[in-house]
Structures are given as structure tokens and as C-alpha cells.
A = this chain, B = another copy of it.
Amino acid sequence: MIRPVTQGRHMATASTTDPHLSHEDGALSAQQIGVARMSHTARLLLQAENLPDPTFDLLSLMCLPVTALWCRVLRFDPTAPDWPDRDRFVVPSTTMLPLLGAMLTLTGNTAHTHTPLEYGRHPAIEVAPGPAGQGVAAAVGMALAEQQSSLRFGRSLVNHRTWVLAQDTDLATGVAMEAAQLAGRFGLDRLAMLVAPPSATQGSEFADSLARFSASGWTVRKVEADNLPAITSALAATLRARKPTLIACLPSASPTSSLGVHLLPEEELTGPWSATARRGASSRRSWLRRFARHRQRAAFEREHLRQRPALFEEDWHRAWQWHMRSTHDTSTQEAGLAGLHALSDILPELVCLTAASAYTAPSAMQEHTGKRTQPATANKLDCNIQEHGMAGLLNGLALHGGLLPCCAASMMTVDRMRSALRMAALMRQKMLYLLTGDGLAMGDGGGGWQPVEQLASLRATPHLAVFRPATPDETFKCWEAALEWQGGPAVLVLCPTQGSTHTVPHAYYGSAARGGYVVSQPEKRQVTLIASGPEVAIALEASHHLAERSIQAAVVSIPCWELFADQPSSYRQKVLGTAGLRVGIEAASGFGWERWLGPEGVFVGMDDFGTSAPANALYERFGITAEAICEKVEHHLFASGAIRGLTPPAPHQPRAHARGP
């Protein structure tokens, strides 16, 4: 157990006799007696829950600080737990949930008494429990959302705080430390975290965690968890703080399990007559009055209902064209970022977090970085190297409501962001990830930096839409589809590769908005080349080569598997073709491609990590060139007997790889 705090000699001496009655003129105020009584009742409620002993001890210790917060500070109306200007009370782990349950019972949340305390079911649960630290990062995101919203709507509409009830394990994880750095950097002074002490003998580690938070720009306060005056003054100091605050609740040196206030609270202290409920109801009423005559009321409502502004379509087209006009770059990365800039011009609720990796990834883009790294909008926030923390914040931005969170980072960093991205998919929160630097474009310094299995692992995640557009035009359509996607996060994978000399024609059949479509189709389809991203241009070139050898190949672009899988079977059949050889082309792992290729299909891609080499050399090394594809197709057609009379061409196969049964 951690060494208890002793705030000066006088305090320590007082503690040994009676800490609660000796402080401040020797007596608790009437309000404090109310809090102590409520806390006692909360403890009784917890006792009835048959919790395991260590959990009960922990929650019992945290009862008084949490009750003090709820009774004296928290802005929460039990009759409207999802009121937009409520204080967020974030409980990141299931361990602490019974305490929230007790608070809800005591403050009279009667409408949801029988609803289990689960995310998506009970409105007072702000976040789904996830891996340690994710809840802390989400809370930082909520505080950031409050900050950004209040900049737009002013303190008359947005004036709440974010409170977290965390455990020591939440603080020690990398994502929490990254999020803590971001909270310090953004100056989120309306964020406060109550932390329960470690249950095991890890006191020094806990003290280290506190020191790390202190070094990240947080105010760290230590209070004895049963010293009500100390707790009250810590909470009061938090309201005045200019930095995010961490209140470590430590076990007392002289534990006084009895508070001297054993009486149950009278009727007027609990339920709808509790201090919390009365204060919450009154705050909400005055908020509603202010809201009714607020000049930005319509915008606030629209954003919280996640509706688009009037004339969105036209503005979006115009802004897109404006931003695309100024660029001579034909990569999807440039187009994707232009889309982001266009969107930030017309959607004020867009908040974009950017990692340092977002623009520096492609070596070909170096000359453009000067232009792009300038924050184009006030809502663009720099997260430097803290990608995991950034992704955690993004969840909080979405959970807060009223904002459309978006982030830009490099494709390779998605490995670090995965835990957070998965939480977003699990909670089905709408947000946009722009992942730049995909493809074999890292150049000489690449090393292990070529994404290989990232696409497959993103596509395997439920509720996640992954877009990998082929051309600037397709990027625009993918942007639109990503904005339409309601099931969860949408990911746009963008390549810095410049478009080839073969311009990709307009869709022959279908459209990018349906996930996959036919780019070009010969009269009689013998071969279907299915590709995504910059490989569509290669497929198109290969189809021209094949045409010269009298092999008729259709080219299909499949920017989004999730959307394509949702299309009717007849559409999919028509796009992919019912007969003939199917060839999948993508500069990534072929894992999962059998879905579209069938057992006889051929995949041209990467079966190994990339190496340091210029992009063209890598494309050649992995055989992702028009010539190599032609040879492979000819070989397979010859082997299957579909073409005759030619000498069997030697296939260009960098390495043999068994696929399919």
C-alpha cells in the first residue's frame, strides 16, 4: 500500500484523533454532513452487491470522494442523463461501475433502474470499458471536444467538465501517457481525474505514475480518501485550475471506516431531492432557457443530430474543386487531403487531429509539405508523435457529440492506433481516419515501413469501412461514401504515388459508391483484373498489353470491400464476371483476397515485408508491373487450356507461394 499523505504536522496529529470533526473550526458543515451520510448509504448499497473483497474495499475507499463530487460539483440531471451540457463522468473500467450505479440510485435516476450499466444501453455510461488507458484517452478527447465546442458556441451553451474515475493501472499504460501529454499540450483545464490507489503493493509505481502526469502538464493533488474537508478543497481547487487535474485518493494513515455519521440520509438528501438532482435540474432549466433564444441554436441542434448543413452537396463540390484546382499532384493522397481541407471549410463541426507522420511519410511529397503542414483551419490540432493517444482522443471527440472527428496519420501508424480504432468500431462511433503514405512509396529510407498486412487487418474488423481509392475522382467519391457510412469509423487509405500516364477512364459499369465497379470492359471478357488504389492504373496498363496479345481483360476497381459486400449478389457477379480468370492486384498482403478471386484466382501482391528501395524497384521485386501481370495471366490461361498455340511463357514469379487448397 502506498504511504499515506500527511499534509503537515498539524494535520497528521489531527488525523489520529478525528480528522473530520477537528478540521475547520472543529466541525463539519451541514453540507459536509450530508455528503458523509450519502457516502455511507452508497457504501451500504455496494455492500448489498456481493462484490469480491478487493473490489469492495477499493470502491468503499472511493465512496467519499465520489459522493463529494456528485453532491457538490457534478452537473448532472438524473431526469436527462444525456443532456448535451452535462458534466461527463467517465468510468473506464467495469471494476468501478458499481460505484456509478450507487450514485445513480442515490441521485434518483429512476427511469433506468433496471437497465444494466452497459455502454449503449444505459445513458449515463459515457464510454464502453476497454483496454486499460483507453477510457482515460477518451475522457481527454471529451474535454477537448468541450474546449472546441465552447470556442464556437460560447460558455452560455457549452460549459461543462469531464471527470474520470480511474484506477492506477489506467495511468501506467502508454496510451494514457500519450493522452496525458496531449491534455497538457492542449491545456484542457476542465478535465479532472479521480484515481483510486493500487490495491497491491505497488506504491512506488503509483507515485511514479503521478510524477509522470505531473511532468506532462497536469496538476497532481494527493488527498486522503476519508478526509472530507481535504477532498472538498481539492475539488474546489480543481474548478479554478488552469491545467488538467489528477486527484490521487490515498488510503488514510489512520483509517476511520466509520464517519461518525451513521444515520441514513433523510428523504430530502436522496433521489430527485438530492443536491445533485436539484442542482442538475436547475442548471439544465436555465441552459434550456438560454438555448431557446441562442442565435446559434439551429447550428447546435443540427450538429448534435449529426445532420448536414443546408446546401452541403453544392458547397462540398465547389470547395473540392477549389482545392483541387490549386494542386498539380495526381496522387490520391493529395486529393484526400484536399477533400479534408474542403470539408473543413464547410463543416464547422469537423475537428481534425494530425500526427507528425501524416505529411512527412511520402518522400515524393517533401516539396508539398510546406504548404500542407500549415493548419488550414482553427480546428486542426497537432498531435505530434502521439498517434495512439490521438486515436484515443478521437473516440472521446465522437462520444462527446456535436463534432465530426477526423485524424490524419501515416498508414504504418495504424498498428499503434489499433486498440483505439477497435474501440471506435465497437462503440460504432462515426469518425474519419485519413491514412497517408500507403503503397510502396517510402523510397530508400523505407526499411520496414511498407504497409503489408495492415489493409487485411483493417478489413477484418467489423463495422469499419476501409476505402482505398485509385484516382483523385474516386477519392472524391470515397470521401462522400465515407461521410455516408453510418456503421462506425471510416478509413481512407491514401497513396502518394503519382497517377500513371494511363489515365483511368470513367466507370464503365457501376460506381465507386457501391464499393466496386468496372473501369473498362472488352467485348468478351476472358480475364478480370481486380485492383485497388494505384494498382488500378497498373491493371489498366496490363489490360492494354493483354489486348495486344488478343486476350480480352476487364479492369475492376474495388475501393471498398465493405460496401461491395453489401451490394446485391447480381451486381457483384456482373462486376467480377462469372467466368474466366480473376486476377487480384494490390501492393499488400493477399490475405482475404480469395473472397473475390475464388479458388482458381491469382493474386499479385506482397507476400513479404518490403525493403529499402525506390518504389519502382519494389513494384518490380514483387512482380506488380503490367509486364509481369501479363506473363502471369498468359501462363495461367495456357495452363488451364484457355489459350493455345503459344509457347508456354515462363511466369515471372518472385517466389512460389501456395494459395488456396
Contacts and interface: CB of A to CB of B under 8 A. Distances in A.
A594 B566 CA distance: 17
A507 interface: no
Contacts of A423: 448
Nearest to A516: B661
A522 interface: no
Interface string A590-619: 011011101100000011110010000000
Nearest to A608: B462
B594 A595 contact: yes
A484 interface: no
Given A131-B415, A217-B208, A596 B184 contact: no
Nearest to A94: B445
B172 A184 contact: no
Given A177-B212, A460-B589, A661 B448 contact: no
A573 interface: yes
B589 A447 contact: no
Interface stretch (A20-28, A291-299, A383-391, A535-543): A383-391
Interface in A186-224: 202, 205, 208, 211-212, 214-217
User: How many of chain A's residues touch chain B, expressed as a range?
Assistant: 35 or more
Contacts of A460: 453, 456-457, 460, 589, 591-592
A174 B175 contact: yes
A384 B386 CA distance: 22
A426 B448 contact: yes
A185 interface: yes
A129 B612 CA distance: 11
A566 B658 CA distance: 7
A416 B426 CA distance: 16
Interface string A442-454: 0001011000110
A173 B169 contact: no
A459 interface: yes
A447 B129 contact: yes
Contacts of A422: 415, 448, 453
A655 B658 CA distance: 33
Contact of A118 (B389, B606, B612): B612
A322 interface: no
Interface in A316-364: 356
A43 interface: no
A591 B456 contact: yes
A242 interface: no
A598 B660 CA distance: 8
Nearest to A459: B591
A78 B265 CA distance: 78
A619 B601 CA distance: 33
B173 A462 contact: no
Nearest to A659: B595
A174 B174 contact: yes
A578 B425 CA distance: 38
A181 interface: yes
A119 B449 CA distance: 13
Nearest to A384: B172
A102 interface: no
A389 B174 contact: yes
Contacts of A607: 462
A132 interface: yes
B178 A173 contact: yes
Contacts of A385: 132, 169, 172-173
Contact of A661 (B386, B566, B572, B660): B572
Interface in A127-146: 128-132
A112 interface: no
A631 B142 CA distance: 47
Contacts of A216: 208, 212
B426 A609 contact: yes
A204 B416 CA distance: 25
A459 to B, nearest CB: 6
Contacts of A659: 565, 595
A419 interface: yes
Nearest to A610: B426
A115 interface: no
Given A129-B448, A173-B174, A212-B212, 17 more contacts: A130-B447, A131-B415, A172-B385, A173-B178, A173-B385, A173-B386, A174-B389, A208-B216, A208-B217, A211-B214, A416-B419, A422-B453, A426-B448, A453-B457, A565-B659, A594-B595, A596-B660
25 contacts: A119-B447, A130-B448, A131-B415, A172-B386, A173-B178, A173-B385, A173-B386, A208-B216, A208-B217, A211-B215, A212-B212, A422-B448, A422-B453, A426-B448, A456-B457, A460-B592, A462-B589, A462-B606, A565-B658, A576-B661, A592-B594, A594-B594, A596-B661, A598-B661, A599-B599
Top 4 closest pairs, chain A to chain B, by CB: A174-B174, A457-B457, A211-B215, A460-B591
